[in-house]
């Protein structure tokens, strides 16, 4: 059994915030990608577009970083939720994190299969996953379950940044 972890490692904190920040340009670059995919579907030549390249490279980076995050969590663990947290909220938190990891992996893998493999089913998975993500991906990560949870989340974010800056 792994010893109880008191806090996240510096690498875990960095990976969390880098992945969170990489999500934003993926939404912003979506229109360029959509236009390039439409041209591809219509049999037109897809000219080089730096916005499309940025979307693709960011997706590849996100997949690598998410897998690294999962690996670190598996090998180094994560701090337990607050003891006073209701068991149902703990279960929701675990399910939400698992869902976020699954969504990020699904979006990056299906994007790669669509773009590099020309697979329409993967492109459809992208459209469906982006629709879900666009409606709530960032909100799910940020939504605290109670005012106590909101205060704990704010304190945790402050500790994350202090740990990154101070060590």
Q: What is the pLDDT of residues 137-157, one digit of tens each?
A: 444 444 444 556 556 665 666
58 vs 113: CA distance, rounded Å: 15
In Å, how far are 12, 18, 73 from 34, measured between CA atoms? Answer: 32, 24, 34
Sign of the torsion formed by the C-alpha atoms of 75, 93, 100 and 58? negative
- The whole-number pLDDT of residue 95 equals 92
pTM: 0.75
CA 165 to chain centre: 23
Please report, in angstroms and rounded to a whole number, the separation of the first and last CA atoms in the chain. 27
């Amino acid at each position: 059994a792994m010893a109880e972890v008191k806090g996240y490692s510096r690498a875990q904190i960095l990976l969390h915030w880098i992945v969170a920040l990489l999500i934003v340009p993926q939404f912003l670059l979506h229109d360029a990608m959509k236009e390039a995919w439409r041209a591809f579907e219509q049999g037109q030549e897809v000219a080089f577009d730096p916005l499309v390249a940025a979307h693709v490279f960011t997706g590849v980076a996100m997949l690598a970083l998410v897998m690294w995050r999962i690996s670190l969590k598996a090998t180094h663990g994560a701090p337990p939720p607050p003891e006073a947290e209701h068991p149902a909220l703990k279960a929701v938190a675990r399910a939400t994190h698992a869902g976020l990891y699954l969504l990020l992996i699904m979006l990056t893998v299906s994007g790669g299969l669509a773009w590099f493999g020309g697979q329409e089913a993967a492109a459809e998975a992208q459209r469906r996953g982006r629709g879900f993500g666009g409606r709530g991906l960032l909100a799910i990560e940020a939504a605290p379950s109670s005012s106590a949870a909101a205060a704990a989340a704010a304190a945790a974010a402050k500790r994350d940044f202090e740990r990154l800056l101070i060590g």
